[in-house]
Amino acid sequence: MQLSGTGEELPRGLIESGPETSFAAHSRRPSRLPIGRKSSYGAGQLVELIIESTLNIFVLFYATAVCGLPGGLAGLAIGAGVVIDAVVNPVIGSLSDGWRSRFGRRVPFMVVSLAPILLTFNLIFALPSGLSQTELFLWLMLLSVSLRIALSVFTVPYLALGAELTDDYDERSSVAAWRWGIGIMGTVAVIVLGYGVFFAGPGGVSNRAAYLPLTLTLSAILLAGALVSIRQALAARELEHEVVASTQAIHLRLFGEMSEVFRHRTFRILFAAALLFNIEAGMYQALGLHVITFFWQLNPTQIQGIGMASVLGLVLGAPIAGLILKRIEKRTMLMSSMIGMVACHALPAPFKMLGLLPLTGGALLGVLAVVAFLAGVAMALSIIGFVSIIPDAADEHEYEFGTRREGLYFAGWSFATKTATGIGVLIAGVVLQVVDFPRDISEHDAAAAVSEETVTWLAVAHGPGAALLSLGGIALVLLYRINKRRHAGIVAELAARKSV
């Protein structure tokens, strides 16, 4: 049996070995983890998902419609933060992979990131009034860059730690599902507190004064999750893979490490697929509030209902993924869920334009809620599929190159995710400017301020326009070749090498 990207073949006995044989030599990393360990570790995902959800749902609307920054400049400022952070991600991954301390490789990075995360997260939603357009753009870009880098200092080591909790093919899926299931409750908090509490009064999402109290409240929740996961990371630090410390400076070794990672065919496939998948998601989410407000003409209470349907799907995606992955391969679930998400994103707006969705009122709201729920399930399954596959690819990397690169692999996922999201936000900002979406609508009658033609083009870009980007990612996933049997052979061979 030949491994992807190499001419080597695994010994036949190893290919046919079962999971029990494969993990026997890896006694430091159990094949089954207690629920307490998985849930405590999963609490750390609240940090990323609270911040990402708040940014994806609100920041472009806040910067443009509330603070008056042109769409192109807002998209550039937000997107620049994401892209610059993405470039820094491999540095963080490499540093974390090679770090040595009595607290382990991952915890020091997670701890030092918390203060700058909390500071910049709140400042980005407290943009001062009275600044010139250029000053507002530069301040937003500085905050965006700082927040994204600080967030990566936490998330890259945090995700890499999850890959080291177990070597078991199925248990890694369970870890990913727990991480997602707990983390998505942060998105629930964003939507419930946002639409249900802070934006429930006069002005709704156009109320500038409501944003900072929202982010302060969310900060308390994400800090609690971070501290729980850090405590668990300290308890699990003995499970981290042993690495040979490099004597080279980071700027000298990083190029070689990244070149090594990109020589791995499986990594290239996953990286490119994640890039396309997340460009679509970034663009879809960035334009979402504009479209649901002006194309579908929903009020804040109705928007909250749609948001909660989506989040319910995201939440239920975790246990659904656990059930599905017991029966089918990770690749099959990933590809199927990506197809489902594309369909949910692309079809509703064209159906309305073509007269195939002539519903109004409660009936329309019900249809949109069902679509949002299904899209949420599909997105959850897609993300769980991606992040449960990455540790398996890292094992294949060790088999081919003899080095552990969990930090760089998750830095690659983060790079693809954030670069793509940044590109998606940038595209969304350009779309707003191209379709002549008005600024400062909080000072005018919102419905009268936006023309029908502008709204139509927004809906086209948001739905079918964005969804087309994911089709290439689906095609790439077809090329992924690691299944449960192949992974068992890889891990057994790695165990045999370490026992010599």
Determine the CATH number of domain 12-499: 1.20.1250.20
pLDDT band at 5 (very low <50, low <70, confident <90, very high): very low
Give the CA-trace dihedral at 128, 132, 138, 140, to 10 degrees.
30
Q: Which residue would you say has higher pLDDT here, 169 or 333?
A: 333
Q: What is the pLDDT of residue 445?
A: 53
Pair 411, 98: CB distance under 8 Å: no
Given a contact cutoff of 8 angstroms between Cβ atoms, the answer to whether 400 and 264 are in contact is: yes
Q: How confident is the model at residue 114 (pLDDT cuts 50, 70, 90)?
A: very high
pTM for this predicted structure: 0.73
- Does residue 10 carry a pLDDT above 70? no
Mean pLDDT of 12-40: 58
* Cβ pair 231, 37 in contact under 8 A: no
What are the tokens at 186?
A: 């942060």
Residue 447's pLDDT band, with cuts at 50, 70 and 90, is low
The answer to whether residues 393 and 169 touch, using CB atoms and an 8 Å cutoff, is no
Mean pLDDT (the chain) is 84
Q: Among 283, 78, 36, 84, which Cα is nearest to 182's?
A: 36
Cα distances from 298 to residues 99, 186, 292, 329, in angstroms, run 50, 24, 6, 39
What's the count of helices (H) and strands (E) in the chain, helices before strands? 21, 0
Of 366, 409, 363, 367, give the one whose Cα is nearest residue 386: 409
SS3 assignment, position 2: strand
- Nearest one of 412, 491, 410 to 160, comparing CA atoms: 410
Give the confidence band of 198 by pLDDT, cuts at 50, 70, 90.
Answer: very high
Q: Is the pLDDT of residue 124 over 60?
A: yes
- Identify the pLDDT of residue 311: 83
The confidence band for 50, taking pLDDT boundaries of 50, 70 and 90, is very high
